[in-house]
A and B are shown apart, each in its own frame.
Chain A
Amino acid sequence: MDFKKESILYLILLLSLLTSFVAHGIGVGKGTEGAIKDVVDPSKIEGVTPTPDGGYNLEGEIGRHKVINPTDTSITPLKTKSGMITNARLENYGTDFGDLIHGKITSLTDNNPISFKSMLDPDTRIEITLIKDGWAKVEQYDKYGNLISSTIVELSAGNVLNEVSNEFGDVFRFEPNNDTDKAVYERLEGKAKIESGTLTFDKNGKIEKVTALTKATQPTEIRLNKQTGFECVTLQQDGTYSFESSEKSFSVTNDNKQDYTVCINKKEKPVSKPVSQRSGYVDQVKDVIDLKNQVTYKHDNKLVYQGFDENNQAVIDLKKSSIVINNRAPGEKISEVRIGHHLVTEKRVSGEVRRYYKHVENPSPFLIRFYETSFNKIGIVAKDEALIQENPETSSKFIMHEPNSMEMGLCLGGMEEVLSYEKERSENC
């Protein structure tokens, strides 16, 4: 009987210990040393001292605490290791050795900076600048107080989140879309997930952006690196990846209903080419952009290529100024390419792939000088400011001029100019 009683006692003790571990998150993930202690009044936290303005200095905090519904301290100034928090209402916030680590904060003033310590990466802080009445909610623990494997930040429109590295300075910036009630930035090891907002990497004069539209039902995933920026981006429908530098600026938008992965190969961080038919590859080393499926490619914020067919593959070589469009089984609407004031469309009409030309009022950059497709043996080349489609078999040419060339073309009855593409340009014009 004694033995039985003793066993039951040990069992109860063991269960209590386990329950205590689970409840306080001990042994889950990194940075979990020390249990979270729930408090109502911050003045009860060990190491916290009151400040002359009626607030609290958390800098000397020992351990990790969760302040539950601090009604009287909601707008009380808090001094943390990362700076002062003032003019803000805090709900259920958590602290860790003098830093804010989670909670919901609503700002009572404009341009109000709030800093959170990242429990995922000790090198990183999450800095949020709130507008008046703007709010942010940071989660790094589950409801049981266990650290989760990511930092989740929810934000209202107008606020800005900056991920700041002690080593590299500002690394990623997240801004909610204007049309959203709530944007989400979830930071995981080596990647991020965003909803209803734009994530930016701005380093050494190179700016990369990923935009997740508010209407998207799934988050946009970004494989990233604090030093080199984005590696692979999985865009949802109408989501965009863009790149900008002093040399060039372009963007890729997913026009597919399903997700679409764009990988970016950089000299400082090589990334292999994805094999999926719903993918694109931006090779910054070779200056070649390889886009499969239904996508829109813009250069200098102007349309250059639109692929409408899921079997499309467009290879844009920025060094050679060329585009090659491949498609083994083209559907009805295949592609559109804009060069200057010219729009070249490929589509299937009565079972045959045909090419069409249209003059457009708003010009795109004169980026493409060699245009080829796998389904039409006749290509288009640019000469000076004109595009020429020439068929040597029939001795036919279609020359698409830029707008300012008309008067010259018509001079002397147009004959000299017209023939200048075959003979020497007339000096009379």
Chain B
Amino acid sequence: MKKNAQKIVKKGQVTAAVILGLVLLVIVWLIMYLNPLSTEKNPEKKVVLAFQAEDVKEHIDGCVKEVSEDGLALMGGQGGRISPKNYLQTHYAKVGYAYYDGKKEFSDISVLEKELSAYVQENLRKECDLSVFEKNLEISEVNRVKAEASFKDNVIVDVTWSVTVIKDNTTFKFEKYGANIPVKMEKIYEIMNDIIKDYPEVDLTYMSGLENVTINSYPHEGLQSVYMIVDHKSKIKGKDYYIFAFATKP
């Protein structure tokens, strides 16, 4: 009887010790988890911080896309220019000339690419509000943005902007951002070129062979016209088309 009683006491001691051990482990883990000084040695904590910093990068990527789309929309309404110098004034827009007094106003597509690059470069910092992250993160950025747009199948915008995110002595540095906007600028540029190739004559046979495109020709004073290309394969700002308008004067 006594032996049995001793066995039962021993078992209870072991169980208590195990429970105590577990509780201690949890306490230690909690202390370690809550102790900021310990993050350097804690990869899990670092992962969480990385996620927070990545939000900043994603936000900037979103800004690049938004600013690029703004630029593209503006260019679309103004004959491929952000600030057209030679334009047809209408009630709604300053429509830049693509063809003026018998001459083409664009040498090649790089002129349009440079317009968008310059627009993103100039407006990204203004339009991209990083203060939303400042409650939790310390953010510093270099006052210099470099943007490069290329019009291939889609519009690709590559941005270089040095942004540093610091929290809990952990530093994350981001430099490269980008946006891929499904606006078929290369195709639209080709259409514009074809419209003005033999201007004032426009090749309707060529136009009928284009896919998913609506082209509007609006005659204006004298023999001036505004052409509006609506590409239904493009997507921008939640819409399933992109409009590119330009003016002509023979």
Contact = CB atoms under 8 A, between A and B. Distances in A.
B220 A361 contact: no
Interface string A399-411: 1111101110111
Interface residues of B, number: 42
Nearest to B230: A418
Interface string B119-137: 0000000000000000000
A396 interface: yes
B245 interface: yes
Give the most central of A354, A361, A378, A400: most B CB within 10 Å. A400
A378 B243 contact: no
B223 interface: yes
Interface stretch (A185-193, A264-272, A387-395): A387-395
A355 B214 contact: no
A398 B228 contact: no
Interface residues of A, number: 41
Contacts of A358: 200-202
A399 to B, nearest CB: 5
**Secondary structure call for the B interface:** mixed
A359 interface: yes
B92 interface: yes
Contact of A402 (B202, B209, B219, B221): B219
Interface in B193-233: 198, 200-223, 225-226, 228, 230, 232
B34 interface: no
A50 interface: no
A414 B212 contact: no
A394 B232 CA distance: 11
A397 B215 contact: yes
Interface of B: 73, 76-77, 90-93, 95, 198, 200-223, 225-226, 228, 230, 232, 239, 241, 243, 245
Given A394-B211, A395-B232, A422-B214, 10 more contacts: A353-B205, A389-B207, A391-B208, A397-B213, A398-B217, A406-B90, A410-B92, A411-B91, A414-B228, A418-B228
Interface of A: 341, 344-345, 352-361, 376, 378, 389, 391, 394-403, 405-407, 409-415, 418-419, 421-422
